[in-house]
Amino acid sequence: MRMKGTPASITLIAAAALSAAAALGQQTDLSGSFYKTFNASTSGNDTQQTTTNSSGGVAGWRQIRSPLVGYEMSFAFNPEDQTLSPQKGACGLLCQNKPTPLTVRDLEIAGDWIASVNFGAFRPFVLGGLGVMIFAPSNGALDTNTVARVAYVGGGGADIRLQPRFGLRLQYRESFYKAPDLLPVYPSTGKYTPTGEPMAGVYIRLGPLPKAH
């Protein structure tokens, strides 16, 4: 009987310890950050698409339930300038088109899975998920397309707690998506392109704080 009871006792103790660790590490927060975008240009289908780097802001809601179980919803916005022009050396029927600059408003809505480890006031994390990027040109005089693209999101960073409910959030994210076709006179390049986003901001913790031991 003793030998049969020992594995069950160990299992119960381990489960209790994991539950306590999860409870101590659990947190829900709201965050806001500023970021810089680093974009790549694409070319294909006789089109050259050039995107400038820009700046933007992101707001997020995050819940960490355990080291391997966390999730986040984020909403990011940044304006950027894009130029569509004939592809050099391979423009075909588009060679007579003039380069067309566009001002584009980008909105990204993403849901991410988060893994993190808490070391006192320092919590590093990695994340990955899916999002939707919406590209809305604001040049009203032109016949433009508002385009939505699925984006694959990945990155990592760290939270640095300054006060029980307040801290810094530093991170780097990268979104990978198919280049949008914004003008009817220029077909999509058909290429996938990354956007890198180093971010710095703050978070505010919600709900009850863990009890001090």
Domains and CATH numbers, the chain: 27-206 (2.40.160.20)
What is the reported pTM?
0.80
Q: In the chain, what's the furthest Cα-to-Cα distance?
A: 88
Mean pLDDT of 78-105: 83
Higher-pLDDT residue of 144 and 169 is 169
Cβ distance 135 to 81 under 8 Å?
Answer: no
CA distance linking residue 102 with residue 82, whole number of Å = 5
Joined together, the tokens standing for residue 97 give 């088109």
Interacting residues of 51 by C-beta distance below 8 A, sequence separation 6+ = 39, 40, 41, 80, 81, 82, 193
Cβ distance 39 to 51 under 8 Å?
Answer: yes
Percent of the chain with pLDDT over 90: 63
> Residue 88: its pLDDT value, please?
78
> Residue 12: its pLDDT value, please?
46
- Examine the pLDDT at 85 and tell me if it is beyond 90: no
Top mean pLDDT of 4-18, 69-83, 182-196 is at 69-83
